[in-house]
Amino acid sequence: MHDNLPKLFQPIDLGPTSLSNRIVMAPLTRSRADENDAPREMHVEYYRQRATAGLIIAEATQITQQGKGYAFTPGIHSDLQVERWQKVTDAVHEAGGKMFLQLWHVGRISHPDLQPNGGLPVAPSAVKPDVKAFTETGFKDIPEPRALAADELPGIVEDYRRAAQNAKNAGFDGVEVHSANGYLLDQFLRDKTNRRHDTFGGSIDNRMRFPLQVVDAVTEVWGPEHVGIRISPVSPANDCADSDPEPLFRAYVRELSERGLAYLHVIEGATRGPRQVEGAFDVTTLKQEFSGLYIGNNGYDRALAISAVEEGKTDLVAFGRPFISNPDLVERLKSNAPLAEWDETTFYGGGEHGYTDYPPLSAGARAAQA
């Protein structure tokens, strides 16, 4: 039945979760949550429109207020947030889709305006990032963060565990642990941001300790077959880097593989930048270290996605910005129809304009492509 279709458009099993195709909607921060950091009605429609993706990974969602780093992003730590996310997952499931929630703690990429009681953002070490924070009153310089004490870390592990349970209660099919793009878990992994001298810093094993504790807590809630993880081994996003990333990430991926996670979601190259970073190792080779499915992400177009899956370089392909302006992206890619252009001015904040009002391909246009 599917023999004449490229593999990209054929079903695949993600552990016990059956996906209708191998196209993933990447997590996309859109900054449209309400004053309680809860999804609105428009989130229900936005995700429902995109439910033909094999898998939707919901936008990065903070596990606590301490984990928040951007204005108007949703959380998964209150009853109201769980209730609102349930409406989203119900709509996606009714439309035949599958949906994981991305669990997020930003660490130092925040601002006192966004933190509980106006406190400092937290981090493995007191290293100030050279980036700005998006607050409700605009972009602001991030102050030097407060280094977390070792005895605070078990509490954050429990925050992840609680958030994972809340995601289950909200009807998601699984969760993705956000360990990429210079946020808290990535900050612990990489030596530019982790300068600790205790059992959570120094050696690769020590730097992996806290992120792996988080993964273990989340898999205790869900079972590893419902848990994925996102990494960005060579991306300079959010002023995060490592002096020798290849041995670090090979060791990390081997540990993740031993835990039986459902998938490894890799940002290949620089986040929202080139797929190749000068002098960096080829992160796609991490697929060989991992027992589950591999999701390739960054700058894929139709041709690259089809060939990468056919050649076994990736199992699934994540698309980000194309899903913003093409709610029916899967159908457009399948029929090789032109893609609608996005309006970048509507990416972050605002209402339904630039969010739920991108039209699907008309029946006439589909017929012309056939």
Contact 238, 183 (CB under 8 A): yes
- Angle formed at CA 74 by CA 69 and CA 76, multiple of 5 degrees: 105
d(CA 23, CA 9): 7
In the block, which residue shows the tokens 């946020």?
183
d(CA 184, CA 6): 38
Helix axes 204-222, 153-169, angle to 10 degrees: 30
Does 183 participate in catalysis according to the annotation?
A: yes
In the block, which residue shows the tokens 């984990």?
67
From 183, 263, 300, 355, the catalytic residue = 183
Helix axes 204-222, 245-258, angle to 10 degrees: 30
**SS3 letters across 79-131:** HHHHHHHHHHHHHHHHCCCCEEEEEECCCCCCCHHHCHHHCCCEECCCCCCCC
Residue 86 phi/psi, 5-degree rounding, is -60, -40
Q: What is the largest CA-CA distance in the chain?
A: 64
106 residue type, one letter: V
Active site residues: 183
